[in-house]
Structure 1
Amino acid sequence: MSEPRNELQLLREWDADTPPLTDPARARALFRLHQAMLTPNALAPATVGRRPALRMAVAGVAAAAITTTVLVANESSPRTEPVSAATVLHGAAAEERSLEKPIAPRDDQFIYTKEIVKETPAKGGRTRTYVDESWNSVDGSKKSYVSELGRKQWVPVFAPGEGTWPPTKWTELAQLPTDPRKLVITLRDMGGKPDYSKPMRAADWPMTQVFVSGLLRAPVLPKGLRAAAYEALATVPGIKVLPHQKDADGRVGIGIQYVGSPGTPWGKGGPVLVFDPKTYRYLGMHDRRTAGGTTYEQWTYIAASAVVDRVMQRP
C-alpha cells in the first residue's frame, strides 16, 4: 500500500484541464485525508472537484468524502454582523418548508440539474460563465451524464458495495432523519448505525460540516431534509456570518461560512453560502478554486432542477 502523502500529492496536483482522478484513487486519497485531518497541522489545503458527494467503496462504514477545499477571506468585521448565523439558517429552514414541493422519483429516473458557474481570476481578468447540465441516476443503477466546468462525461453505474457519503441514492436519502440533532450524528457516523447516545466531539465537527454542506448542495432532496440540514448546520461550532456578500448575479446577501481551526483545510474559511437578506432564501455559493497555478473566484447557483425519465431530457 502506498504512503498517504502519495495520494494527497495527487489531490494537490489535480488540475481542471486534466482528466479527474479515478474513483478508486480519489476514494483512497479522501479516506487518507480524513485520517490525516485528525492530526493538527498535518496537511496543507488540497483542491478536489466541486461536487460534495464522491463515490467510494463501502465496507460496513462508508469512507469520508470532502468538498472543494477553498480559501475565502473574511473581509467583513464581525462587529458589523446584522444577525446571527443561527437566525439566518433557521430562517432559511422556515423558508424552505414553506416553498418545498415533495417529490418521489422512481429508481429508474434521473435528477436533472442546470448549474450556472461564473469564474474570475482572483488577480483580475476575464469572467467565464459555464452552464453545466447533468443527469444523475436516482439509484445509481444507470450511467449518469454530468458536466463540471464544461467538462462532460459519463459516470459508470455503482458496483456492488459502492456508494457515496453523503448518500445520493434516493432510497438512502429518504432514510436520513429530519431531526437536526439526529441528522448531525447520522452524518458523523458515515453510514454505520448512528449512535445517538455518543455526544459530538470537537474532532467530529470538521468532517460533519462537510457532510451537512454536501446535502445542501444537492439540488433535490426528500421532504424536510434540506430544512433539517440548514438547522443542523446552525449547530456547527465555527459557523460565521459574513455581511454584504454577493451572489452570481451581483445581488447583495448574507454569507454563512464555516471557519475551522488553524492548520486544517478550513483554517481560513470554507465555501460561503449566500442567502437573501430579507427572506433568507438560499441564493448560491461563493468559492475559490486553484488550477494550473491560478486562483479563481467562483460563484455558482442552481438555475433548474427536475426529475426526468432519461438522459438528455429537459423539463
Structure 2
Amino acid sequence: MSEPRNELQLLREWDADTPPLTDPARARALFRLHQAMLTPTTLAPATVRRRPVLRMAVAGVAAAAITTTVLVANESSPRTEPVSAATVLHGAAAEERRLEKPIAPRDDQFIYTKEIVKETPAKGGRTRTYVDESWNSVDGSKKSYVSELGRKQWVPVFVPGQGTWPPTKWTELEQLPTDPRKLVITLRDMGGKPDYSKPMRAADWPMTQVFVSGLLRAPVLPKGLRAAAYEALATVPGIKVLPHQKDADGRVGIGIQYVGPAGTPWAKGGPVLVFDPKTYRYLGMHDRRTVGGTRYEQWTYIAASAVVDRVMQRP
C-alpha cells in the first residue's frame, strides 16, 4: 500500500519559514494547480478572501463498491466483516441525525472550538500536543481569534463582497441544500447559481471533495447539513477503506482516505478520516505534514464546540 500523503505538503515545503497558508488560499492554489493539469475550461468566478480558519480535512469518499476487511467490535469479541465506504458514511450520517442538537446562533455571536492536535516525528521522537482554541465570528462582522498549532492571531472582519468557500457565515451555510446530490453540485459551482442539470464530470470531483470535506471540518453546522455532507462524500469517486486506524486518543477505527486520479495533487492519497467501527461516529483525522525537511504524523479531533457571546468566553 502506498504511503498516505498530505496533499498540501508541496505547498508547505515551498517556503516552510513563511506563515501557514489559510484554507481559502490553499483552496485557490490547489484549484489552480489542478486546473493547470487539465484541458483549459471556462471557470465560474468565485470571490474568496484570505481568512484563517480551522484546517480543512481534505478527504473524499465514494459509493463505489470498493471494500476491505475491517475490524468491527461487538459485545463479545472482535470479528471481521467487509465494509464499504458508502456503508461507513451513510452510517455516520444516520448517527449524526440521531445525536444532532439543532442550534440557531445570532449574527453577533461566535463559534467556539477546542481542537486537540498531536504530532510525532515520523522517524521517532517526542510527541507534542497542541490545544487550539478559536472563536470565529458567526457572520464575519466581528474580529475572530483563531489558533493553529499554537499560533494565535486576530482575524479582520469581512468586508462587503468577500467570503470563503465553503462558506463560513451562518446565513450562507443555511442556504446550502441538505439533499446530497444538490449539495455536491452547489459546492462544485463555488458560489454561483447551481446548475443542477449539469452532471458531474470526472474533472469536477477532486476539488469538489475538497469543498465537501471542508464542511465537515466546521465544528457547528445548521440542522441536517453535516449528515448531508457525509452522504455527499459517499458519492465521490476515489475511495480507500483502511483498517485498524487510530484516532488521537488511540482508539482503533475505520479509516477512509481519498485517492485522486493520476496527475492530481491527491494521486497518492489525502488525510485519513477515522470512524468508530461500531457506530460509525466520526472520531478524528490522521494526517501528515512536513516542515523544514522533517515529516510529522499528526492526529486531530474536536474536543469541544459551542456558540458563545464573546471572544475568550468558554462554554
Is the deviation greater in 20-29 or in 131-140? 20-29
* Equivalent position SS for 1:81: strand
Cα distance in 1 for partners of 2:62, 2:242 equals 33
Is the deviation greater in 256-265 or in 223-232? 256-265
Instruction: State the 1:161 CA deviation.
Output: 1.1
2:264 paired with 1:261 = no
* Equivalent position SS for 2:135: strand
Cα distance in 2 for partners of 1:229, 1:194 equals 17
Instruction: State the 1:293 CA deviation.
Output: 1.0
Contact 1:130 1:149 in 2 (8 A): yes
Superposed CA offset, 1:33-78 (max 9, x none) = 3432436999999999999969999999999999999999999999
Cα distance in 2 for partners of 1:121, 1:44 equals 41
Higher relative contact order (CA 8 A, sep 6+): 2
Superposed CA offset, 1:237-285 (max 9, x none) = 0022111100001100001111011221111111110000000000000
**Structure 2 unaligned spans of 5+:** none
Instruction: State the 1:82 CA deviation.
Output: 2.7
Contact 2:25 2:50 in 1 (8 A): no
Contact 1:241 1:254 in 2 (8 A): yes
Contact 2:284 2:302 in 1 (8 A): yes
Contact 2:187 2:212 in 1 (8 A): yes
Superposed CA offset, 1:52-107 (max 9, x none) = 96999999999999999999999999998730000000000000000000000001
Contact 2:114 2:302 in 1 (8 A): yes
Change in CA separation of 1:313 and 1:154 when aligned onto 2, cut-off 3 Å? same
Cα distance in 1 for partners of 2:234, 2:313 equals 37
* Equivalent position SS for 1:54: coil
Give the superposed CA RMSD: 8.6
Same amino acid, percent of matched pairs: 96
Aligned length: 315
Contact 1:71 1:268 in 2 (8 A): no
Contact 2:48 2:165 in 1 (8 A): no
Change in CA separation of 1:29 and 1:276 when aligned onto 2, cut-off 3 Å? closer
Contact 1:243 1:255 in 2 (8 A): yes
Cα distance in 2 for partners of 1:105, 1:303 equals 20
1:89-128 superposed matches below 5 A = 89-128=89-128
Is the deviation greater in 34-43 or in 292-301? 34-43
Change in CA separation of 1:306 and 1:195 when aligned onto 2, cut-off 3 Å? same
Change in CA separation of 1:246 and 1:55 when aligned onto 2, cut-off 3 Å? closer
Contact 1:55 1:162 in 2 (8 A): no
Instruction: State the 1:26 CA deviation.
Output: 6.2
Change in CA separation of 1:281 and 1:16 when aligned onto 2, cut-off 3 Å? farther
Instruction: State the 1:187 CA deviation.
Output: 0.5
Contact 1:27 1:55 in 2 (8 A): no
* Equivalent position SS for 1:118: strand
Contact 1:142 1:157 in 2 (8 A): yes
Cα distance in 2 for partners of 1:240, 1:274 equals 12
Contact 2:276 2:283 in 1 (8 A): yes
1:286-301 superposed matches below 5 A = 286-301=286-301
Change in CA separation of 1:4 and 1:162 when aligned onto 2, cut-off 3 Å? farther
Superposed CA offset, 1:284-312 (max 9, x none) = 00001111111111000000000000000
Partner of 2:151: 151
Q: Tell me the TM-score normalised to structure 1 length.
A: 0.82
Contact 1:69 1:270 in 2 (8 A): no
Change in CA separation of 1:34 and 1:65 when aligned onto 2, cut-off 3 Å? farther
Q: Tell me the TM-score normalised to structure 2 length.
A: 0.82
Cα distance in 2 for partners of 1:268, 1:42 equals 27
